[in-house]
Structure 1
Amino acid sequence: MSNAHFEFDNEKVIEIIGFFESYSGIGESARLCALSLRDSGFKVKCTSVEAVYRKTAAFSWPLDGFYHGNDKPSIRIFHLNPPMLPPAIFSLGFKAYKQSYNIGYWAWELEDIPAEWQAALKYMNAVMTPSEFTSRAIRKHTSKPVITVPHPVSYNLKGANEDIRARLNIPASTFLISSIFSFGSALERKNPQSLITCFKQAFNQNEDVMLVLKSNSGSGDEKTHINELIGDDQRIRLIDESWDRADILGLTQTSDLYASFHRSEGFGLTLAEALLLNTPVITTNWSGNMDFCNSQNAYLVESALVPVVTDNHEFKGCGNLSWAEVRHDAAIAQMRAAFKAIKAQGKPQTHALTIGYLKNNGYELAVAEIGKVTQV
């Protein structure tokens, strides 16, 4: 851990380290952090680490308005989960790492963290997370500051492609349900399988309704399994390809309902985006998304806790932990309720409490809170 003194003011440089040029949740996390702190008046330096991990940049992150000088950062925020930290620290240089106050922004999806994460706590001066669900899991293992900072989702919701339905040949009159996930984020956790199954049972072939599953990184047995579940049902479409930000936002915004029957979320970024785009959501009533999803702003689906069963390397050794399995009867009933209400009344406006929560819990307040804690 660095012994650097905590210094936080507008004249000091804050360096954000992450996958700025990747289409991923962890990449979006870094971008939102940088935009939020920059717009709060801080000198923000962005360091993208694709090359460190031998990844190809998916696009070029615009650096307008960010810091490009030679002043040393007083604070570094690593938008990298613990298994990713060593290469980033080595590339930075151990001397430089020791000269800054280092904060890890970590997202985890279960009620306790693995041993590897526990060990990594010694390398950080403090930790930020996107939800109280994740914060509680980490606080069990450290007395260091652990602060919840929801993603400042509203910073990156402009420029939605409003013609996306036309491009996909989906009529405006069709009731469109969408869901976005990556095959690389543990398919068992994202659980599109339950969504497909429940959709088929909730709607008959005569109803004008469609389910679009937008994914990326699909290959091999997992993608084959999803296509087998879909079968010859023409109302369900799996689109496994890279889209730019405008198309992703366009799909969410022009949907009548956004669905996530996840088994666990560290936050639920696409759910938050949907709510702020005035698209109703139907989702599992458990984990990180419950910080901003409630019975007033979402169609919550009852679930039961079941043991974690997955071959994904991220959750190796977590078999003694649980995650949530949506009750299919409850999911089907909520899908029917949403369909009926939205068809009759249209899409409701986002609840004011949702907007307030997602806009008023920012990085500036969180960093200031860490400063208070360290001075006690």
Structure 2
Amino acid sequence: MTSGDRRGGTVEVIVAVNSADDTAAALVRAVRTQHPGWIISASWAGDPQLRPDAPAGTEWARDVPAEIDLCRAAHDDRIWLAGLTAARSVVSDNANPVIVLIAGAIAVAGPLDALVPAATDVLVVIPRSVGTPANGFPDVAELFVAGSVSSSVVGFGANALAAITWLLEGLVAGSDVTFGRRLDVATTLFGQRQCTDPTLGASPWRWPDGQETALIDAPHFAEDGPALLDRTIAGRPRISLANADRLAAVRGVADQLSPRSDALTLPGGIAIDATIRRLARRHPGHSLQPWTQAKEFRDWLSQRYWWALLESRPDLAARFGVDADVDVEAFRAWAFGAAGRNEAPLLIDPAGLTNPTPHLKVTGCRTDGINVVGYLDRQSGVGAVGRTIVQVLAEAGIPHSAIAYQRTANPLLDEPPRCDQHVEFATTLACVNGDQMANLRSDHPELFGPGRSVIGYWFWELSTVAGGPPVAVDTVQEIWSATRFMAKAFAEHGVPVRVAPLPLARPVRSNVARDSFLPLAEADGRFVFGVVLDHLSVTARKNPLGAIAAFTQAFAANEGPLLVIKTINGEQRWREHEELLLAAAERPDITVWDAHLPIAEHLAFIGHLDALVSLHRSEGLGLHLAEAMWMNVPVIATRYSGNLDFMDDASALLVDSELVDVGADGGWAYPAEATWARPSVDHASRLMRRLVDEPDLAGRIGRAAHTRMETQHRQDSAALIEQLTTLGAGHRPGAAIDDAG
């Protein structure tokens, strides 16, 4: 049945299948007999490349689980992953009520009308027990583990999209909670109707006496020997089939019941164990395709599997060490024999197990070019710096090799750039912050050593490095800095420092309309001030509370202007986020919006603001400020730190400040004895007021900002190309003149 045959309000049935036998076909026939007008389709939960023909009378659902999600879900959850994926498209596309039946676990012998969700239903479930459990069955512990409702059949109403999505997210996120228990929680969160029709109650948990049986729920049925509805129960069964009517009912539908569940393995017979599932869950998105791109996935797995196994096994950690103290050679020797001892899946090659990151091939030691190493394929600010430098090298025609460094938790880019992954030149520019340089040397010693030089392109937010995280200064011969502010701080290390400005290119924004963003949807012609920050970048440093204080001082409630504070990672820094929400709670014209946006949409959001406000305590660079300036958005910013390299009083509204001790506000990130700025709330409020009261001011500052960025980009590009050309011509780092001042 195709989507064109579907009619709004028509009942649809999804039969979820995970074994290539005739059980599903028997279930389809039974449903078709009882309900010839219903639409039936099937969803496959097994190996994507071994999918059999669809059960007779159906077609496979067009929406299937992503291959990597099949690796993320537990074995017992895969069938619901398939069923829910198909159900989601039915509810989303057609708003039809849908019933998901698990093939092999459920048998139909009569009409299922009582399971059909009404217009107001979200979930329709069958309780395992109605009233007081008889003879102690089921007891509380069993209900707590397995759930209080059947996990073999669920009805989803037209309004169930949120519930289905929530259930799917839980299946791929991984936990020790059974699907039945998760379904219990879903009924509480999203609403449910319990189907207590006695004809649909036959199961190993209960079987109403004297009732016709329309549905039997028996996921662990065993036909051999004395017939048991549940072969997993030790001792006397809860529901005995030593009853003529019950036995006849079960025998009449036995062809629909089967405990079989085909094991899912990766190509080559690799079993999906807990370590593989954990790695799959850590990987963002759906770019990995374990079956369609088997070799690529196996290569990816081989690079990570052994270290993840070590991380999860206390016995191995005790034997071989952890983190930087791992005895790599001893662990590698153990790994070679692990598969043969059934301690790891076959065909995951331990041969490259020398570092937590892939080995780099050394192809030369030329002095006419540069290796660039960094988080080039990751969503990371430092990664973006590395990609910019690679682009500048390519445009300038300077020989180079691009190396993507993998020791990071940042997610992969949707479209990562091609990287050479080999060491061709004697000089390396490492776009890896100073506190990670020791790891880089440990992971890739081939970049270091006699005849080779390393330059660190580093970032830091304060005016001093004293008291900050430990930095492996001995790994570099020279430090490059994107701003004069950071260069002065890095000079404390005693290593030659150069200011190497980073060309801040024109941002590429999406064309998403202003009213598409939730907090801007009803802004109409009101002047909107915006603040953007990542809580993981230290909330106190970004100082959104200062922006709220300035806004509330400048404008009375609902006077006209709006303040939107756009954050990310509020859940990970929930204390700081709650403090922010509390500060904004009494003002209806202040909105706090925590949401992850694609980069192009994030830039579009900034571009739709009437002014960007940054009352920061300190910035190493301030990339978001430069992006706003490129887009003609006037910026109100603290007159302090790295942002002063690309803005002045003609191109921005700069806020006066005084230096104060960081103190407790630095938290885990910054030393209390360091200093940073305390921007003037009074001055910031006056500047906000000016932008609203002087309509021409915003346009004038915005145009000047754009012009400044165009000029700055040309100048910084020329300066960086000159420095890179010098390196490419054989300059030896370490002989640089300290130009941090």
Aligned partner of 2:436 in structure 1 is 84
Q: Does the CA-based 8 Å contact 1:129-1:135 persist in structure 2?
A: yes
Deviations 1:61-113 (A, max 9, x none): 432xx553756243322222222222232222x13333642111111222211
1:88-103 equivalences in 2 (<5 Å): 88-92=440-444, 94-98=445-449, 100-103=452-455
Deviations 1:114-153 (A, max 9, x none): 3566752221121111210110112233242x12233322
Q: Does the CA-based 8 Å contact 2:510-2:601 persist in structure 1?
A: yes
Aligned partner of 2:594 in structure 1 is 240
**In the TM superposition, what is the alpha-carbon distance from 1:165 to its structure 2 partner?**
3.4
Q: Which amino acid aligns with 2:541?
A: R
1:160-309 equivalences in 2 (<5 Å): 160-168=510-518, 169-219=521-571, 220-309=574-663
Q: SS of the counterpart of 2:448? A: helix
Alignment length (residue pairs): 360
Taking the aligned partners of 1:338 and 1:287, their CA distance within structure 2 comes to 24
Taking the aligned partners of 2:539 and 2:616, their CA distance within structure 1 comes to 9
- Kindly indicate whether residue 724 of structure 2 is the aligned counterpart of residue 367 of structure 1: yes
**TM-score w.r.t. length of structure 2:** 0.45
Q: Which amino acid aligns with 1:326?
A: P
Percent identity reads 23
Taking the aligned partners of 1:201 and 1:222, their CA distance within structure 2 comes to 22
Cα distance change of structure 1 residues 113 and 331 upon mapping to structure 2, 3 Å threshold: same
Cα distance change of structure 1 residues 111 and 76 upon mapping to structure 2, 3 Å threshold: same
Question: Which is further off, 263-272 or 197-206?
Answer: 197-206
Match of 1:313 among 668, 691, 716: 668
Q: Does the CA-based 8 Å contact 1:130-1:149 persist in structure 2?
A: yes
Match of 1:150 among 501, 509, 526: 501
Q: Which amino acid aligns with 2:589?
A: R
Q: SS of the counterpart of 1:30? A: helix
Q: SS of the counterpart of 1:159? A: coil
Q: SS of the counterpart of 1:361? A: helix
Q: SS of the counterpart of 2:454? A: strand
Aligned partner of 1:335 in structure 2 is 688
Taking the aligned partners of 2:438 and 2:667, their CA distance within structure 1 comes to 21
Q: Does the CA-based 8 Å contact 2:374-2:386 persist in structure 1?
A: yes
User: Unaligned stretches of 5+ in structure 1?
Assistant: none
Aligned partner of 1:40 in structure 2 is 396
**In the TM superposition, what is the alpha-carbon distance from 1:162 to its structure 2 partner?**
3.9
**TM-score w.r.t. length of structure 1:** 0.86
- Kindly indicate whether residue 491 of structure 2 is the aligned counterpart of residue 136 of structure 1: no
Q: Does the CA-based 8 Å contact 1:164-1:247 persist in structure 2?
A: no
Cα distance change of structure 1 residues 19 and 181 upon mapping to structure 2, 3 Å threshold: farther
Cα distance change of structure 1 residues 37 and 207 upon mapping to structure 2, 3 Å threshold: farther
Aligned partner of 1:346 in structure 2 is 699
Aligned partner of 1:27 in structure 2 is 383
Taking the aligned partners of 1:6 and 1:204, their CA distance within structure 2 comes to 66
Higher-Rg structure is 2
Aligned partner of 2:416 in structure 1 is 62
Taking the aligned partners of 1:274 and 1:6, their CA distance within structure 2 comes to 42
User: Unaligned stretches of 5+ in structure 2?
Assistant: 1-363, 737-741
Q: Does the CA-based 8 Å contact 1:160-1:253 persist in structure 2?
A: no
Q: Does the CA-based 8 Å contact 1:174-1:209 persist in structure 2?
A: yes
